[in-house]
Amino acid sequence: MTESVRNVAVFSLGGTIAMTTDPATGGVVPALSAHELLAAVPALATSGIGLKVRDFRRLPGASLTFEDLTALSAAVAAELETGDVDGVVITQGTDTIEETAFLLDLYHGHEQPVVVTGAMRNPTLPGADGPANLHAAVQAAADPVLRGAGCLVVLGDEVHSARTVRKSHTTSPAAFTSPACGPVARIAENRVRMVGGGLSSRGPLVGAPDREARVGLYTVTLGDDGALLDLWQGNCDGLVVAAFGVGHVPERLVEGLTKLASRIPVVLASRIGNGPVLSDTYGFPGSEKDLLGRGLIGAGDLGPYQARLLLHALLAQGADGATVRATFTTASAR
């Protein structure tokens, strides 16, 4: 075996990449350990990269919770603080990869990269992509060119920033894209090759949560009469509104949103998930200018899922309304 010159810690959370067929149901379920995942990638044994392996959870991506990810963030930080590893790889289900990566990036204050990967095809299918994605993720985590890059997502030999990555297809192996800017790097011949403008600026760094917080996500739809919006009154600590286009809602929702924004932070995002919420273009009732003037907080180019995670992280730290607004203003300017 080639002598190890760099070291990577691998945390396994379950997901499609770790699934096998359940004989009782005929469906696939998370069952493979982290060691079994690595055994399916023999090229890692001669890569010159030492691996520290930890089974952390065995759950579908859809079942991961804030508590799971808070514990994972703490475990990753503890591993990085030893100085024994050059990077971290996390394997998990692709359903929530973009959310996991963004949330971990908010908590990640170390120089070593944290790389999240998974698989679109489970190991029982022809052309299962898990081994190739895991190999690429380990290569990325070990490469010094990605130091300081924060949390990244690697699938299909592409490296994406946690801030820009989206899952854009339900089944395609090429499901993960960064619609606004493309990948920051690609992996070929066992090394990272930077592309385009390279690494994007990172979002804000938020401390670990110390209290419970509930943040809702309300998606505006055609013909929306606002009745469901009323259900959030008194039932959440903050709300993200996934609005039409550049930040528009039906006029019928304006009064309800104004009342909510007087009591809790209400963040205005776009349900499109690519491109910014504007601030000073349209002026009709329910436009972005009207809503921001009524106390809503613009999400900038953060999609609604990201905006919800940032708002949750801030409120779980006890941030007041002024701090929430200032943080979103800074994040939107990046």
Task: Supply the residues annotated as catalytic.
Answer: 16
Cα 141 versus chain centre, distance: 17
Closest by CA to 266, choosing from 237, 246, 226, is 237
> For the chain, what is the radius of gyration of the CA atoms?
21
Residue located via tokens 């691996």: 51
Cβ proximity of 118 and 15 under 8 Å? yes
Q: Are 19 and 30 in contact (CB under 8 A)?
A: yes
**153/166 Cα distance (integer angstroms):** 10
8 Å CB contact between 272 and 243: no
The residues, any chain, with a CB within 8 Å of residue 325's CB and separated by 6 or more, are 265, 297
- Report helix angle 97-107 to 304-315, nearest 10: 40
Helix residue spans in 95-227 (DSSP H): 97-107, 130-142
Burial class, 42, CB count within 10 angstroms (exposed 0-12 / middle 13-18 / buried 19+):
exposed
What SS3 class is residue 33? coil
The CA distance from 161 to 184, in Å, is: 7
Angle at 207 between CA 75 and CA 144, to 5 degrees: 60
